[in-house]
Structure 1
């Protein structure tokens, strides 16, 4: 299983950016997404930014990761998945028999 981690660009150049998540700074390759201004959220995997995220999507991924950590610890995690609680699961379009 692969997990992408959302991070926020602090500073960078054409190839590498210093990105922050929860106070930790890491050097992230920007080769796949190009130069991004400070404050931009990017989805990272294995030291590379793989996609630019908007603020809402970055927060949703962060909440999901926090929810997984809470579940592993046996604590309540429903509030971190609020966007999923009041709706039925939906199959992706390619799996629907429409």
Structure 2
């Protein structure tokens, strides 16, 4: 799975940019997005900028990544009430219905 990371351009030159985001700096390929300027936000996948985004979209993606990191990195943020039932907590009939194999309506 490939996850896009919002990164802000610090310095740019032809087809390359030094970017910063989520606590790291790296050089990325900008061939797919064209010329960029310091201050712009990019969505970066595997050291290649794939999309220009605005600061609001960068904040939204970062918030989603923060939630994901919280869930994967330790105790769940939703330990008391995740808001949904995992299949392991469901009955056989509930899992079948979830999978679309439940009883057919008349």
TM-score by length of 2: 0.68
Provide the alpha-carbon RMSD of the alignment: 1.3
Asked if the contact 2:2/2:46 (under 8 Å) is kept, the reply is: no
> Separation in 1 of the partners of 2:9 and 2:66?
20
Q: Residue in 2 aligned with 1:41?
A: 41
TM-score by length of 1: 0.73
Structure 1 segments of 4+ aligned residues over 4 angstroms from their partners: none
> Separation in 1 of the partners of 2:35 and 2:44?
14
Q: Which has the larger radius of gyration?
A: 2
Q: Does 1:74 align with 2:75?
A: yes
Instruction: Name stretches of at least 5 consecutive residues in structure 2 with no aligned partner.
Output: 79-106
The number of residues matched between the two structures is 77
Instruction: Name stretches of at least 5 consecutive residues in structure 1 with no aligned partner.
Output: 78-98
> Separation in 1 of the partners of 2:61 and 2:50?
14
- The Cα of 1:75 is off from its aligned counterpart by 3.9
Q: Residue in 2 aligned with 1:86?
A: none
